[in-house]
DNA sequence: GAAGGTGCTGTGAAGGTGCTGAGGACGCCA
DNA sequence: TGGCGTCCTCAGCACCTTCACAGCACCTTC
């Protein structure tokens, strides 16, 4: 007997597509189209995993997971949500979901994540990274300095993210270009200098040391 | 013998669920239900990790970690807390916890984080090269002499890096030109002499011996 | 002791390295 | 369409590093 998956999704076209696709992969799929009916099915249906939309009539996806967890049902939950900004990924994970996908998503990615969940491997949300009074929360994509939020652009954030995982170590421009920028993109090394400059203005000039001829170092 | 985990949680249903789940995963699990008893068990039980609720009778989870850390117990701690706003994630991390989960949480996520914590147990200590009171840390690209930082230029650093890996051995100028300078560049051997001079001024005159007609040797 | 070899160091030129402000390209949104 | 934010390039500048050179000190050899 196959692996049983519950799909809770009110958009009937998407629900049907998922059911078809997952069935073709060998899963046994049931669907529900409202919050309450999904919750009920999850409680009693003996499923191995649940794919759960956030926007549902009757009860939101968040609420469904929250109630399940409160009742100590540990069914793996993969949440789906439109990227409308109102809700974000951190909310989804905070309410007890195991993984999270933003619409529009790739079916292949969904499948991969579902399989990972079934293997009991929730994606690890990294801890909040801290260096001095600088704090970076990857799940929320938030950076604070002395508890004051610092607003960073995508690139600035990616740069800080890379550096803060190796505090005190010297990281070369080439390495940064490879990992923070797209390695194949042939961005000029000067871009690194420019963004180091931006970052310094936001997190403090002395926090990011230049090691001439070698790279940059986040002061510990 | 398995990995030993201590669960400190006063809600008995959750404690039981965790014990059951973690045991099924192969962990050896003990539980405590109050702050003081948890602290005591953590001190003396030889656990590999602790899962610790914040709200506990007798002594809060924060206080438990704080006291453990004050006594220099570095047991990995995963904190659990209700997201009621009064306490937040930062508090948990600030008081010395290693990771933090907000209730309601996903069991799979808890498992993933716990495993991450146990893995992280052995923090990677990059090699530091030492000769006498001279220390060179390649990752941080930092050189200290009697614990005082010595600031080196790129070339000086490269030279010292090369020499410190062969302490006590005589290294010829040609070899240095080949490895520290670009071998093809046809730099005059005098450059080596110049940089040996620079280095001597910074790390101490007697640390770098001249072997006339043969090369240089880093005194051990 | 003279002569030549070897190594040391101060000077200064050349060029390298990094920082910054300006501004173009692009995508997004109203 | 225009305004805005972001990304990134470019050019100019300031500063630092590197290295050649030359003069000198010292050692070795004869």
Q: For A91-149, what is each residue's pLDDT tens digit?
A: 656 678 888 776 667 677 788 889 888 886 666 665 678 888 898 887 678 899 988 99
d(CA A196, CA A219) in angstroms, rounded, equals 13
pLDDT at A129: 81
Distance of CA A178 to the CA centre of its chain: 22
A32 within 8 A of A41, measured Cβ to Cβ: yes
**Cβ contact, residue pair A127, B154, below 8 Å:** no
Partner residue opposite A74 with nearest CB, options B21, B112, B140? B21
What is the nearest CA distance from B196 to chain A, expressed in angstroms?
19
pLDDT category of residue B72 using cuts at 50, 70 and 90: confident
How many Å lie between the alpha carbon of A128 and the closest alpha carbon of chain B? 8
* A220 CA – C26 C1', rounded, Å: 37
Predicted pLDDT at B122: 43
Report pLDDT digits (tens) over B32-71.
999 999 999 999 988 999 999 998 999 999 899 889 887 8
Residue A210 at interface with chain B, using a CB cutoff of 8 Å: no
CB contact residues (below 8 A), chain B span 142-181, against chain A: 153-154, 157
The answer to whether the Cβ–Cβ distance between B108 and A121 falls below 8 Å is yes
Residue B124 has a pLDDT of 43
Q: Does the beta-carbon distance from B108 to A122 stay under 8 Å?
A: yes
Of A95, A98, A212, the CB nearest to B108: A98
* B153–A76 C-beta distance less than 8 A: no
pTM over 0.75: no
Please identify among residues 105-144 of chain B the ones whose CB lies closer than 8 Å to any CB of chain A.
105-109, 111-113, 116, 139-141
Q: Is B13 exposed, middle or buried (0-12, 13-18, 19+ CB in 10 A)?
A: exposed
pLDDT at B207 over 50: yes
What one-character-per-residue DSSP string does chain B give?
---EEEEE-S-HHHHHHHHHHHHHTT-EEEEE-SHHHHHHHHHHS--SEEEEESS-SSS-HHHHHHHHHHTT----EEEEEE--SSS-HHHHHHTT-SEEEEES--HHHHHHHHHHHHHHTS------EEETTEEEETTTTEEEETTEEE---HHHHHHHHHHHTSTT-EE-HHHHHHHTTTGGG---THHHHHHHHHHHHHH-GGGEEEETTTEEEE--
Contact B141 A211 (CB under 8 A): yes
Which nucleotide across the nucleic acid strands is nearest to B180, CA versus C1'? D18
- Which residues get their CB within 7 angstroms of nucleic chain D? A 153-156, 181, 185-188, 190-191, 194-195, 212-213; B 153-156, 181, 185-188, 190-191, 194-195, 212
Tens-digit pLDDT string for chain A (220 aa): 678 999 999 888 888 888 998 998 889 999 999 999 999 999 998 899 999 988 888 888 888 998 998 888 889 999 887 654 445 555 656 678 888 776 667 677 788 889 888 886 666 665 678 888 898 887 678 899 988 999 999 999 999 999 998 889 999 999 999 989 877 778 899 999 999 999 999 999 999 999 999 999 999 8
- pLDDT at position B88 is 54
pLDDT of B2 reads 78
Cβ atoms within 10 Å, residue B77? 26
Q: Output residues with Cβ under 7 Å from nucleic strand C.
A: A 173, 189-190, 193-194, 196-197, 200, 210, 212-215; B 173, 189-190, 193-194, 196-197, 200, 210, 212-215
Residue of A nearest to B113 (CA): A124
Say whether pLDDT at B24 is over 80. yes
């Amino acid at each position: 007997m196959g692996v049983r998956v519950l799909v809770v999704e009110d958009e009937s076209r998407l629900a049907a597509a998922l059911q078809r696709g997952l069935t073709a992969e060998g899963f046994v799929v049931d669907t529900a189209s409202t919050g309450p009916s999904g919750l009920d099915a999850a409680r009693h249906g003996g499923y191995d995993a649940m794919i759960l939309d956030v926007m549902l009539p009757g009860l939101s996806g968040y609420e469904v997971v929250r109630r399940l967890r409160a009742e100590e049902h540990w069914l793996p939950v993969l949440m789906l949500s439109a990227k409308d900004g109102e809700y974000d990924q951190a909310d989804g994970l905070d309410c007890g979901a195991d993984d999270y996908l933003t619409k529009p998503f790739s079916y292949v990615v969904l499948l991969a994540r579902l399989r990972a969940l079934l293997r009991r491997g929730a994606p690890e949300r990294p801890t909040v990274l801290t260096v001095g009074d600088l704090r970076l929360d990857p799940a929320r994509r938030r950076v604070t300095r002395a508890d004051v939020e610092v607003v960073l652009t995508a690139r600035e954030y990616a740069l800080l993210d890379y550096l803060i995982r190796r505090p005190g170590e010297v990281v070369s421009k080439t390495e940064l270009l490879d990992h923070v920028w797209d390695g194949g993109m042939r961005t000029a090394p000067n871009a690194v200098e420019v963004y180091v400059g931006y970052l310094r203005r936001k997190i403090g000039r002395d926090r990011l040391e230049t090691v001439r001829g070698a790279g940059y170092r986040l002061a510990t």
